[in-house]
Structure 1
Amino acid sequence: MSEAKMVVCALRREDVADSRTAGSPLPANVEAAARPLVFVSDDLSAPRRSEGVTLGVHAWSLPAWAAELPFAIPEEERAAWEDQEVQQLADALQRERHPEVPVLQDAVLFMPAQALLHCSAGAALVVMGRKPGAEWRYVIGSLLREATCPVAVVPS
């Protein structure tokens, strides 16, 4: 196994539900993996039309102080924030390296787990990076419980 470039894991949905409990081995095993892990759920056997790969590299939300405003955020201000996020996404993708690969880039105004779950409905595969910290554990848990396609977790 030391020569493997990635590991593909069969996954039962009930195992993922148990991963929310203390002492579950799933988060620890994902965190300890040095190679990409691809999780394929046992209930993905039904034929479905899906195409493409969703790569979760960037999701954004409005600043926390925006929720405290007494009125809605002006559309122009929200659009300016979104334009800035789209530019950061374009910079992160560095399209000049592989211009032959078709990419639909989309910076969505969702939390990361919501964004990836939404995109998983039409994808053949969802790929997300694994970062240190607790937030990625929540995102991977949500994806493995609810995604409608296989999920790959790649160490950052």
Structure 2
Amino acid sequence: MKTILLYLLFLITIAVLLLNRYTDLYINNSIMHFILLILASITFVFIIGRIFGKLQTTKSRVLTILIIGVFCFVQSFLTWGGDWKTQTILYQNKVNGNKTIEFQMRGDRFSFGYKKRVINRLKLFPGLDWTTDVDTAKIDHKQWEKINRYVNEMKFASK
């Protein structure tokens, strides 16, 4: 039973991480992304350890988890560009309230300034979105209601 749970946890976490990397699925919470990365790494190492007959003692498992945690933290720190934060919700779908067109910004960590994008965001679950780039000049106004709600997730000072 433990082995099946280990394989299942690995498959789920690696599938979500790969979907985040190679599709329009977006993990919108850096803590959730970090937890998925650690779980995928730990389960992978434990599966390899099980195959080769290693990691039998509790001490070796705890030490392995600590080492993987440090490596994942360093990797996340060096490669993470920041989370996209919604500044303004421009449009909301008239049929599906979870579907919005948003203006988002992301602060670059190692350079000065911000990246900007306008996306069609479908909220799937807490922490998971399906995002696609959108041209606001080509919006079908029969499907979208213009709301221009200022959210300010970047916490800029108000005017």
For the superposition of Structure 1 and Structure 2, which TM-score range results when normalised by the shorter chain? under 0.3
TM-score by length of 1: 0.27
When normalised by structure 2's length, the TM-score is: 0.27
Which one has a bigger Cα radius of gyration? 2
If asked which structure has higher relative contact order (CA below 8 Å, sep 6+), I would say 1
